[in-house]
Amino acid sequence: MAQAYSRERRAVLAEQLREKVPGLELVVDAPMSEHTSFHIGGPADILAAPAGEEALRRLLLWARDGGVPLTVIGRGTNLLVRDRGVRGLVVRVGQGLDGTEVSDSVISAGAGLPLAELSRLAAARGLAGLAWACGIPGSLGGALVMNAGAYDGEMKDVVKRVEVMRPDGTRAWLSAADLDFAYRHSALQGADLVALRAELGLKPGDRSAIEAEMAEFDRRRAGSQPLELPSAGSVFRRPPNHFVGPTITQAGLRGARIGGAQVSEKHAGFIVNRGGATAGDVLELIERIRAEVKAKFNLDLVQEIRIIGEG
Ligand SMILES: Cc1cc2nc3c(=O)[nH]c(=O)nc-3n(C[C@H](O)[C@H](O)[C@H](O)COP(=O)(O)OP(=O)(O)OC[C@H]3O[C@@H](n4cnc5c(N)ncnc54)[C@H](O)[C@@H]3O)c2cc1C
């Protein structure tokens, strides 16, 4: 477990950071429930949103030199933050790291750009290859880390290369092969690298046909997923030869509830926050699902969502 900082220490660290990174947007004891789509999670000691690459570089160096634990997040849509929160510095990659450039059929985009915006930009330029991404609520950075995908598309299909920042503030380009993409996996998972931007190779297409495809994906998603309630998307990875939702339903767990956490009635692969759910509620429900699916079908469900912080 990471060292717990006293209130005074947190204030001193925040002051140091403000000096090191002028104009930095920074919150002490930031409730992570306000920065995750689950609306769950205890406080981050310090949450900072760098407004550009130089601010990010200074943040990384400050954390490294001070031995302050560092966690990088995007839009927090694949995250469960435990109830006692996150020690050290949480860096949110978003606005300021979200620029785009289009050259022929290649889009270069910053990791902080919402994936859905990138999908709409590609369509507006008549570029095919990202329609599937229109309803995924995360950032491009999170999508690279997770190799996000839907409707038979995934990041792996379009990423040419990714620029990253190392803990010492230096930068490097990783090729698609370096990134080792597989189902909901990339080499960025567990690496101490911050995704900065990606170059995506698309194909010329017809704008109205791409937009019609996106509208169809939106319609299917709205019909099958509990978009009206807070969640972090599919909780579990898809096991070979099985669909998670139907398996959980067959185990009799659709609608099962612990505290404020409930197996969605609409899509049993989602856990939703019915109001006031704690990370403890969600984790207990995950364990119950895993145990009952194992007992009934001898199937091991593995989490897709990323769990961070202290319980
Ligand atoms: C309603 C709903 C529907 C969803 N549907 C889909 C779907 O169809 N397909 C799908 O694949 N996912 C889906 N998701 C999950 C989620 O949107 C994706 O995994 C998304 O790519 C996560 O992006 P994020 O910015 O929110 O990342 P976060 O949740 O903030 O972070 C995810 C991981 O990436 C790391 N990370 C984030 N940004 C960076 C960065 N710049 N550099 C280094 N590490 C970083 C974090 O440390 C963490 O480990 C859904 C979620 C919701 C709530």
Do 203 and 300 have their domain in common? no
Q: Output the CA–CA distances (angstroms, integers) from residue 205 to 129, 149, 202, in the order listed.
A: 9, 20, 9
Do 63 and 138 have their domain in common? no
pLDDT average, residue stretch 90-118: 98
Residue 170 tokens read as 């230096």
Do 139 and 117 have their domain in common? yes
Closest atom of ligand 1 to CA, residue 189: 49
Q: How far is the CA of 143 from the centre of ligand 1 (A)?
A: 5
Q: Is the per-residue pLDDT at 251 higher than 90? A: yes
197 C-beta closer than 6 A to ligand 1: no
Structural domain contains residue 216: no
Q: How far is the CA of 142 from the centre of ligand 1 (A)?
A: 4
Choose one of 72, 92, 112: the last residue of a domain.
92
Do 260 and 281 have their domain in common? yes
Do 232 and 189 have their domain in common? no
Closest atom of ligand 1 to CA, residue 225: 1
202 C-beta closer than 6 A to ligand 1: no
156 C-beta closer than 6 A to ligand 1: no
Taking only the tens place, the pLDDT of each residue in 146-177 is 999 999 999 999 999 999 999 999 999 999 99
Do 120 and 49 have their domain in common? no
Structural domain contains residue 2: no
Domain that holds residue 19: 7-92
Structural domain contains residue 217: no
Choose one of 209, 236, 255: the last residue of a domain.
209
What's the confidence (pLDDT) of residue 1? 58
Structural domain contains residue 144: yes
The pLDDT-based confidence of 4 (bands split at 50, 70, 90) is confident
Chain mean pLDDT for the chain: 97
pLDDT average, residue stretch 90-100: 98
Residue 107 tokens read as 């889009």
- What CATH number is attached to the domain comprising 269? 3.90.78.10
73 C-beta closer than 6 A to ligand 1: yes
195 C-beta closer than 6 A to ligand 1: yes
Residues 181, 147 contacting (CB under 8 angstroms): yes
Q: Is the per-residue pLDDT at 291 higher than 80? A: yes
Do 48 and 106 have their domain in common? no
Choose one of 175, 209, 243: the last residue of a domain.
209
Q: Output the CA–CA distances (angstroms, integers) from residue 268 to 244, 245, 259, 286, in the order listed.
A: 8, 4, 17, 12
What's the confidence (pLDDT) of residue 153? 98
Do 105 and 192 have their domain in common? yes
pLDDT-above-90 percentage for the chain: 97
pLDDT average, residue stretch 213-224: 98
- Torsion angle of C-alpha atoms 107, 134, 216, 153, degrees rounded to 10: 70
Backbone angles phi, psi at 250, to 5 degrees: -65, -25
Which of 1, 16, 86 has the alpha carbon at shortest distance from 44? 86
Do 248 and 277 have their domain in common? yes
**DSSP per-residue codes, 37-80:** TT----EEEEEEE-SSHHHHHHHHHHHHHHT--EEEESSSSSEE
Do 125 and 202 have their domain in common? yes
Buried residues in 4-14 as b, exposed as e (16+ CB within 10 A): ebeeeebeebb
What's the confidence (pLDDT) of residue 3? 64
Kindly list the catalytic residues. Answer: 184, 234, 304
Do 73 and 109 have their domain in common? no
- Please give the tally of structural domains in the chain: 3
- What CATH number is attached to the domain comprising 14? 3.30.43.10
